[in-house]
Amino acid sequence: MAEPWTTTGATVWFTGLSGAGKTTISEILARNLREHDVRVEILDGDVVRENLSKGLGFSKEDRDINIRRIGFVCDLLSRNGVIAIAAAISPYREVRDEVRSNTTNFLEVYARCPIDVLSDRDVKGLYKKALAGEIKNFTGVSDPYEEPLNSELVVDTDRGTPEEYADRIVDALEEKGYLSRRPAPAAARHDEVPA
Amino acid sequence: MAEPWTTTGATVWFTGLSGAGKTTISEILARNLREHDVRVEILDGDVVRENLSKGLGFSKEDRDINIRRIGFVCDLLSRNGVIAIAAAISPYREVRDEVRSNTTNFLEVYARCPIDVLSDRDVKGLYKKALAGEIKNFTGVSDPYEEPLNSELVVDTDRGTPEEYADRIVDALEEKGYLSRRPAPAAARHDEVPA
């Protein structure tokens, strides 16, 4: 175990198109934080739809309900000292801002990547299907994506590595006062005990 | 702040009829734990239906979905060092046992009270309405309640005070190893530092 970091708890709220790297960055971020004894949970779109939102579809109304539920759970976690990472597409600005205003220590990260890069890359073959009209309500193709105007952090995921973006999120958490990479006070006290 | 207690995190899962005292005991338990610096969240039926399960009804299927969602959130909290208190009626045995098997440090508390006592007391006037046929799917009157067979704790809420039951839950948490009322190690170390 590396030197422990301390956290107040926070919500790292990704937004961005399918394939933009939200889940990949989340997993690297979570691993880095856990190495420093920070409690972390990832709430990705699939896990949440299975456990909290089965039966909801992809209309704006259903997407908004789904996002509010993720926000509710993130707040429960972040106000209890956990770093909750939400890795859903989260396409609508208004509900993102609603969640921001209801959630403890909220940090929005926009995983930005041009749609032509995503559809060229097309790791899961979803863009091809969406462009052929085989998937309805596909964000960025047949469903809206509203870019954030005031994200705490924007990462251009066609230009660097997920490891770099994960590090930038740790920096942003520290700048906001939600995380400290200095040793915890208890550890410091321990060091001071004479041998 | 009283002497801090330590916890591994746990889920205190109430089951019992409407009016049996689940919420009252939960609130006293939560207050006691917080006084000792223990992180606590109460997930009561109303809060969850508003935030996670709007649109669900009171059929067995919908109730089971609601209970699974509460279980999912309790597990997220309890595996992160929080004591999650679920205070919903939770009438069906099979889904309670499913949640038990999926949840970290699960402690079921059956708030048991005879239905004639509850309908005599009838604090919210709901039993009168249910008995008159004005509320459908009212647990214990027009909808089933399956008593637990193997609760970790049964409290007979027509015989004592909520304070007593809250204390018994703390005892049960300690017996299970989920909570310790001994001082935390960090505090002990601090005491040992020479003046």
Is pLDDT above 80 for B97? yes
Q: Which helix (H) or strand (E) holds B7?
A: strand B6-7
For A52, which of B41, B69, B194 is closest by C-beta distance?
A: B69
Phi-psi region of A175 (alpha: psi -120 to 50; beta: other; left: phi over 0): alpha
Is pLDDT above 70 for B190? no
pLDDT tens, position by position, B137-146: 999 999 999 9
Residue A45 pLDDT: 84
Residue A33 pLDDT: 98
Average confidence score pLDDT of chain A = 92
CA distances from B33 to A29, B29, B54, B188 (A): 32, 6, 30, 20
For residues A73-78, average pLDDT: 98
**Cβ of residue A120 closer than 8 Å to a chain B Cβ:** no
Contacts of B81 in chain A (CB under 8 A): 39, 80-81
Catalytic residue at B90? Answer: yes
Could you tell me if A176 and A10 are in contact, meaning their C-beta atoms sit under 8 angstroms apart?
yes
Least confident of A83-92, A143-152, A181-190: A181-190
Percent of chain B whose pLDDT exceeds 90: 87
Contacts of A82 in chain B (CB under 8 A): 80
What is the value of pTM for the model shown? Answer: 0.91
State the pLDDT confidence band at B123, using cuts at 50, 70 and 90. Answer: confident
For residues A2-6, average pLDDT: 94
Average confidence score pLDDT of chain B = 92
- The Cα A74–Cα A145 span in angstroms is 22
Residue A195 pLDDT: 39
CB-side neighbour CA atoms (13 Å) of B27: 4
For residues A14-29, average pLDDT: 97
**Cβ of residue B49 closer than 8 Å to a chain A Cβ:** no
Mutate to test the interface with A, among B80, B83, B85, B192 (most CBs of A within 10 A): B80
pLDDT tens, position by position, A127-144: 999 999 999 999 999 999
Q: Is the dihedral of CA A66, A114, A111, A93 positive or negative?
A: negative
CA distances from B104 to A69, A131, B11 (A): 21, 43, 7
Is pLDDT above 80 for A185? no
Is pLDDT above 60 for B53? yes
Is pLDDT above 50 for B192? no
For residues B155-164, average pLDDT: 96
Is pLDDT above 90 for B184? no
ipTM summary value: 0.90
**Cβ of residue A2 closer than 8 Å to a chain B Cβ:** no
Q: Which helix (H) or strand (E) holds A43?
A: strand A40-44
Domains and CATH numbers, chain A: 7-192 (3.40.50.300)
Is pLDDT above 80 for A189? no
Residue B152 pLDDT: 97
Mutate to test the interface with B, among A76, A189, A190 (most CBs of B within 10 A): A76
Q: State which residue of chain A sits closest to B195, comparing Cα positions.
A: A193
Could you tell me if B15 and B96 are in contact, meaning their C-beta atoms sit under 8 angstroms apart?
yes
Residue B46 pLDDT: 85
Which among B119, B111, B113 has a CA at the least distance from the CA of B90? B111
Percent of chain B whose pLDDT exceeds 70: 93
For residues B166-178, average pLDDT: 98
Which among A46, A52, A34 has a CA at the least distance from the CA of B69? A52
- The Cα B127–Cα B18 span in angstroms is 9
Q: Which two tokens stand for residue B112?
A: 């048991």
pLDDT tens, position by position, B60-69: 999 999 999 9
